[in-house]
Amino acid sequence: MNTETEMPVTPSAGKIMLVGIGPGSVEHMTQRARDAIAESDVVIGYVTYIKLVADLIEGKEIIRKSMTEELDRAVSALEAARAGKKVALISSGDAGVYGMAGPTYEVLFQSGWTPDDAVQVEIIPGASALNSCAALVGAPLTHDFCAISLSDLLTPWPTIARRLDAVAMADFVVALYNPKSGRRTRQIVEAQRLFLRHRRPDTPVAIVKSAYRRRENIVFTTLDSMAEADIGMLSTVLIGNSNTFVRNGLMVTPRGYANKYDMEDGGSTREGERAGRSLSTGLLGWLETLAAEHAAGDSIETLAARHRLPADYIQATLDEPWEAAPAAASEETEA
């Protein structure tokens, strides 16, 4: 006779792993992403992403979802994790860039989950489309850049348009995600229109479709022609800033070294500049210029228009007394 008391089986706590698989090829996936998929009992993802990792998921429970079922994917992941399973929730690129990380945390918080819950969450970073696409076309993101999604499925158009206008005016290099679909064809035309208000028509643009995938395609064009190019849901559009150039088939945004060094003269430092120090037109130099211009009679409005900055910022800057900081023991790097 069995005298042992039967205990109820408490499943060990599960885990949700938000796996960024990078652009699509297995070689561009991190080791941790592969290990996470290998460790998982259940793999959940959009059908296309499941296909991209087909070789790594044999024998696992697979939950395929359509593009629009993001919250569903997160709910399924939580249910499986509550049942004690290790779940790999697959995103292309990075899960935190227009990916599953946000919706998953929203679903988790809604369910009362907190970070000390038995269900663990791990986010595994991957190369986002902007990294992958940039690597294929040269070095377009070597200066300040930002990403804007043209998808108005969840974001009102005035919000998107305002951001496009602001970054175009502020001379960011921009990566446009979700630029166009079968139904959304006008957004890229509107983006072009907003950019042309601030940027030259010949501003370099690179359109990368299916980076590191079978149908990879790269087109170099210009801002005034970009809307006519072949753009789809698998494309990322990279728009250069006012210094970006294309040479020998490579799109490059200068880091700014030419502001300080004479690149044609073996890299000698330009007059008035010093290695490891702010440019003469850096903050302190600019403050001196501003004060001199104001003292010479330029109004706040004139200064605001000249420097393309808000008048109240110019006023506050002039009102605030400032002093150069004492020289630091170690110099900054310029990289």
Positions that interact with ligand SAM (CB under 6 A) = 23-24, 91-94, 97-99, 128-129, 132-133, 177-178, 208, 210-213, 233-236
CB of 136 to ligand SAM, least distance (A): 9
Q: Which is nearer to ligand SAM, 7 or 54 (CB)?
A: 54
| Cα–Cα dist 121/108, whole Å | 10
CB of 142 to ligand SAM, least distance (A): 19
Q: Which is nearer to ligand SAM, 14 or 22 (CB)?
A: 22
Amino acid code (one letter) for 127 = A
CB of 232 to ligand SAM, least distance (A): 8
Q: Which is nearer to ligand SAM, 77 or 133 (CB)?
A: 133
DSSP E strand stretches across the chain: 15-20, 42-46, 61-65, 86-91, 120-124, 138-139, 145-149, 173-177, 204-209, 217-222, 235-239, 245-247, 250-252, 261-262, 268-269
| Cα–Cα dist 329/12, whole Å | 54
Taken in order 123, 128, 132, 134, is the CA torsion positive or negative?
A: negative
Using DSSP's 3-state secondary structure scheme, residue 130 falls into: helix
Q: Which residues contact 277 (CB under 8 A, 6 or more apart)?
A: 331, 332
Q: Which is nearer to ligand SAM, 48 or 111 (CB)?
A: 48
Using DSSP's 3-state secondary structure scheme, residue 56 falls into: helix
Let me know if 248 is exposed, middle or buried by CB neighbors in 10 A (0-12, 13-18, 19+): exposed
Q: Which is nearer to ligand SAM, 129 or 303 (CB)?
A: 129
Residue number closest to ligand SAM, CB atom: 93
Q: Which is nearer to ligand SAM, 47 or 324 (CB)?
A: 47
Q: Which is nearer to ligand SAM, 132 or 244 (CB)?
A: 132
Beta bridge partners of 173: 145
CB of 90 to ligand SAM, least distance (A): 10
Kind of pairing between the strands at 120-124 and 15-20: parallel
CA 15 → CA 1, 83, 85, 167, distances in Å?
Answer: 39, 10, 7, 39
CB of 181 to ligand SAM, least distance (A): 8
Q: Which residues contact 151 (CB under 8 A, 6 or more apart)?
A: 177, 178, 184, 187
CB of 313 to ligand SAM, least distance (A): 34
Q: Which is nearer to ligand SAM, 179 or 204 (CB)?
A: 179
CB of 101 to ligand SAM, least distance (A): 9
Instruction: Tell me if 100 sits within 8 A of 89, measured CB to CB.
Output: yes
Q: Which is nearer to ligand SAM, 107 or 208 (CB)?
A: 208
| Cα–Cα dist 284/290, whole Å | 10
CB of 69 to ligand SAM, least distance (A): 13
CB of 235 to ligand SAM, least distance (A): 6
